[in-house]
Amino acid sequence: MRKNIVAGNWKMNKNLQEGVTFAKELEAALAGKTLKCDVIIGTPFIHLASVASSTKLGVAAQNCADKASGAYTGEVSAAMVASTGAKYVILGHSERRTYYGETDAILKEKTLLALANGLSPIFCIGETKEEREKNVHFDVVKKQTVDALFGLSAEDFSKIVIAYEPVWAIGTGLTATSAQAQEMHAFIRKTIADKYGKEVADNTSILYGGSANGGNAKELFGCPDIDGGLIGGASLDVEKFIPVIEGF
């Protein structure tokens, strides 16, 4: 059975002390609640070890290098991320694709290195506003998935979490309607089933991301193919994040 997951993505927010305090506060606030999902926080690299050692919450990096090791100044390898105790890495976020030129070929390398080091990628795909207006959104999402991920064995693919994040909804306050999100999630699951079979597809967690919050999480998470969320803005504040987690 696939897991329900709510994962926060802090992006480039919070210093180390603020991050550790947040993680402890969130864990304390969730203690005693019956959770129907796994909770992950995606922190900047420098927070990973401290957050992973001070809470039992899942911890994700927001990126890793496309090289294993060596003379790549400023980069952080998948092995280094794994050595912090983090179990996940967010890959292919649209901000990485847009601002740092990450292509499907680069993301394929990052995914292989993440998996080789025991990390589960939370792999982001999604179309821009222009692509949706041109009605090519299904083609775009399929190509991103095929080009970066469909070289994987079924065993490796089963360690991937997909995050469908329409670029036009990220940080904009615009959310895909639950019908739009469900339609795309069902399409992604069918695309996976066509390649890896129904069992792998049914076991793949597909998260929605794009201005999800406490007000819309319940409706989104109630859709049959939406298995949780990747949450930016609403994950920066414990009081705002908890209602998203409680959307399940």
141 is an interface residue for ligand PEP by CB under 6 A = no
Give the C-alpha separation, 208 to 111, whole Å.
20
Nearer of residues 127 and 196 to ligand PEP, judged by Cβ: 127
Write the DSSP string, 168-199.
GGTTTS----HHHHHHHHHHHHHHHHHHH-HH
Among the listed residues 61, 112, 122, 212, the single contact to ligand PEP using CB under 6 A = 212
Give the C-alpha separation, 213 to 217, whole Å.
6
126 is an interface residue for ligand PEP by CB under 6 A = no
Give me the residues paired with residue 164 across strands: 125, 208
Among the listed residues 19, 44, 166, 210, the single contact to ligand PEP using CB under 6 A = 210
One-letter amino acid identity for 215?
G
Nearer of residues 85 and 171 to ligand PEP, judged by Cβ: 171
Interacting span for ligand PEP (CB under 6 A) from 51-59, 152-160, 180-188, 232-240: 232-240
Among the listed residues 171, 197, 215, 222, the single contact to ligand PEP using CB under 6 A = 171
| SS3 per residue for 60-90 | EECCCCCCCCCCCCCCCCHHHHHHCCCCEEE
Binders of ligand PEP: how many residues, by CB under 6 A?
13
Cα-only R_g, the chain: 17
Place of tokens 């210093």: 15
Place of tokens 């930016």: 232
Residue 116 contacts residue 65 (beta carbons within 8 Å): no
Nearer of residues 157 and 208 to ligand PEP, judged by Cβ: 208
Interacting span for ligand PEP (CB under 6 A) from 48-56, 138-146, 177-185, 209-217: 209-217
43 is an interface residue for ligand PEP by CB under 6 A = no
The residue number whose beta carbon is nearest to ligand PEP equals 232
Binding mask 148-167 for ligand PEP (x = CB under 6 A): -----------------x--
Give the C-alpha separation, 129 to 11, whole Å.
22
The helix (H) or strand (E) run that includes residue 162 is strand 161-164
232 is an interface residue for ligand PEP by CB under 6 A = yes
85 is an interface residue for ligand PEP by CB under 6 A = no
Site of interaction with ligand PEP (CB under 6 A): 9, 165, 170-171, 209-212, 230-234
